[in-house]
Structure 1
Amino acid sequence: MQTFNLTATGHNLNYLPQYIAQRHGFFQKEGLEVITTIPTPWDGVLDALAADEAHMALGGIWVPSMYRERVQNYTVFAQIANRCPLALLKHGPAEGFKLTDVAGKTVLMKSGGGASVGLFFKMLLRENKIDARGVDYIQDLDGVMLGDLFQGGMGDYFVTDNLSARAMVEKNPNVSIAMEMVTQGDVPWSVYYRETATTTPDVLDKQRRFCVALAKGIEFCNTTDPASYAEELAELFPNVPVAASIAVVNQFRSNAMWTSPVIPLEGYDRWQLGLRDARLVSEPIPYTTLVNSGPAIEAVEAAKVSVGKEAPASDGPVQAMPKAVSTAA
């Protein structure tokens, strides 16, 4: 059994296939003992990679994108979440809500786990021809604090993770979910990556086996009624009603949250445009510059799980990525 250390930016329901793969022995069947740590603050994942304390990091693809050729080069090798797991809450009933209603209003957005919340929501506004600069944002506070303040009357809308939104609505009849963003198209929301220069053939083999198990976890989540493993959901997310967890899993299942470890090109390109418009990258980074899809493609074939939407083909057998020189910002 080989140890494969993972450092993750949080503990989230959109990571469910990984938790299932862990709990159901899928990683062990591939000869891997996956050990996960969650640093505080979240950007400690980069320190763990640099110190060789972790073999891979799990988080938003915006991090390796904005770091590339500025601080450190990272290579992304797989995804777990294919869509945005956020929800938009409002005061009062949600009937008749339109995204254009947000214009000129105040939106609270949690930011403790990084920039993804604001990046996606503002991209969504731009895609719908809504001036994101015409909205007021409060986003430099803890998510729990913002949730309490929103329920107390601060702001007009609140963007938070889907599971927290469902739990809040179950407890508070004065707020409602105006939009669940899992319905708003593909983006590689949560991905696995490591430093490009330290990616060896041995690491690539571990990545492939990791992706085999992850693909099986994805298949399990997509084909299994979450009510049948409610006890596991309660153990994984003890601070929310299990009914809310089940509802969110079913929402994710029906809206392509979990498709494949292979990152689809269309969603990747969309997110890169969003990062460019947010000024995190000067120009969209080509898929094959940032992503080595070889381990995931080989794993999907081995696991006999559909890859979903087409991604750029691997250039033959999995190869070690070329070494890259990091530059200080």
Structure 2
Amino acid sequence: MVNMIPVVALSETSKKQVLQPFHLTATGYNLNYLPEYIALRHGFFQEQGLDVTVNIPTPWDGVLDALADGTADMALGGIWVPSMYRDRVQHYTVFAQIANRCPLAVLKRGSSEGFKLTDMAKSTVLMKSGGGASVGLFFKMLLRENSIDERAVDYVQDLDGVMLGDLFQGGMGDYFITDNLSALAMVARNPKVSIAMEMVTQGDIPWSVYYRETKTITPEILDAQKRFCIGLEKGIEWVLQHDAESFREELAELFPKVPVNVAVSVTNDFRRNKMWTSTSVSRQGYTRWQQGLSDAGLLKEPFDYEAMVDDAPAVEAQVEVVK
């Protein structure tokens, strides 16, 4: 099953321009991808001569199949996947980043006043895992970074997020970890639960990146990647310059199943807390995440930045945008 991302119709002027197809396969549809959706809707990719189209395969790991068979020009998802595959199955090169922070939140029943991360030791934590392993990977890394034994927590994480959310509200477990948007929507509906922590405040990490099979990269692909990054940089800049209240109608169209006030609140929270910075992968965040992946056993040891990331398309794009 494949879901297509809707985009606005091209103007008559845009239709006359010959655009280069540049297809993206993504692991999900999330608010932390917002600058990409804005770039699509506002024509920032079209300005660079790219006809960017997007699909979301089900299951999500179909993105790797799309890269392998050449039906996709790039994949969007967690950097833990190309890291885990390197030197084992396939080499992928990351060329851009969109989400610079973790978009998760910790929910608890009752008031969150006075909450401390150490409170979660010897508790039962429900974590959604339908989109991959990143939820558990990040949370357990956060525990280790705060000198909390991850083995002191019981985990329920092999179920759908909606199912776990219903079970949590029904009394299962002590905490529930889900995406920030879903967390705030649950709190808006249920006064008996509260947000104990928004992980967007917990430091830089390359949460969502764009990548491609290394062996398929050509000078023509690098040029298209640079132009894609220019469009994405403009999308990031646009979101950072506009209070979410000023484009609430767009947010309502993009996320129709979420109360618009919730979408506005989360967007402004992400704007304030550096969810979006630039298309370049932060070296500090990269090093932190590689260590977390290594400590979790996904990697034998962390990979050097240059082994996984080619920052040239993003850097060149940033130069073009500021001209």
Scaled by the length of structure 1, the TM-score of the pair is 0.92
Alignment partner of 1:7 is 2:25: yes
The alignment partner of 2:274 has SS state of coil
Alignment partner of 1:210 is 2:231: no
Cα-Cα RMSD: 0.6
Distance 1:290 1:28 in 2: 28
Per-residue CA distance 1:271-317 (angstroms, 9 max, x = gap): 00000000000100000000000000000111119xxxxxxxxxxxx
Per-residue CA distance 1:165-213 (angstroms, 9 max, x = gap): 0000000000000000000000000000000000011100000000000
Distance 1:110 1:201 in 2: 40
Per-residue CA distance 1:45-96 (angstroms, 9 max, x = gap): 0000001000000000000000001000000000000000000000100000
Corresponding residue for 2:152?
Answer: 134
Distance 1:205 1:111 in 2: 35
The alignment partner of 2:119 has SS state of helix
What does residue range 1-329 of structure 1 map to in structure 2 within 5 Å? 1-304=19-322
Corresponding residue for 1:309?
Answer: none
Deviation at 1:265, TM superposition (A): 0.5
The alignment partner of 2:317 has SS state of helix
The alignment partner of 1:177 has SS state of strand
Per-residue CA distance 1:81-119 (angstroms, 9 max, x = gap): 000000000010000000000000000000000000000
Distance 2:29 2:241 in 1: 22
Deviation at 1:225, TM superposition (A): 1.1
Amino acid at match of 1:277: D
Distance 1:155 1:125 in 2: 18
Distance 1:252 1:225 in 2: 11
The alignment partner of 1:221 has SS state of helix
Distance 2:312 2:209 in 1: 15
The alignment partner of 2:278 has SS state of coil
Deviation at 1:229, TM superposition (A): 1.0
Q: Which sections of structure 1, spanning at least 5 residues, go unmatched? A: 306-329
Count how many residue pairs are aligned between Structure 1 and Structure 2: 305
Amino acid at match of 2:137: L
Distance 1:290 1:240 in 2: 35
Corresponding residue for 2:4?
Answer: none
The alignment partner of 2:57 has SS state of coil
Q: Between the two proteins, what is the percent identity of the paired residues?
A: 70
Amino acid at match of 2:30: N
Distance 1:300 1:138 in 2: 42
Scaled by the length of structure 2, the TM-score of the pair is 0.94
The alignment partner of 2:171 has SS state of coil
The alignment partner of 1:88 has SS state of strand
Q: Which sections of structure 2, spanning at least 5 residues, go unmatched? A: 1-18
The alignment partner of 2:276 has SS state of coil
Moved more, 223-232 or 46-55: 223-232
Amino acid at match of 1:31: G
Corresponding residue for 2:12?
Answer: none
Amino acid at match of 1:36: V
Distance 1:301 1:281 in 2: 34
Q: 4+ residue runs of structure 1 moved beyond 3 angstroms?
A: none
Amino acid at match of 2:106: L
Deviation at 1:132, TM superposition (A): 0.5
Distance 2:221 2:170 in 1: 49
Per-residue CA distance 1:239-295 (angstroms, 9 max, x = gap): 110000000011101100000000111000000000000000010000000000000
The alignment partner of 1:80 has SS state of strand
Amino acid at match of 2:176: F
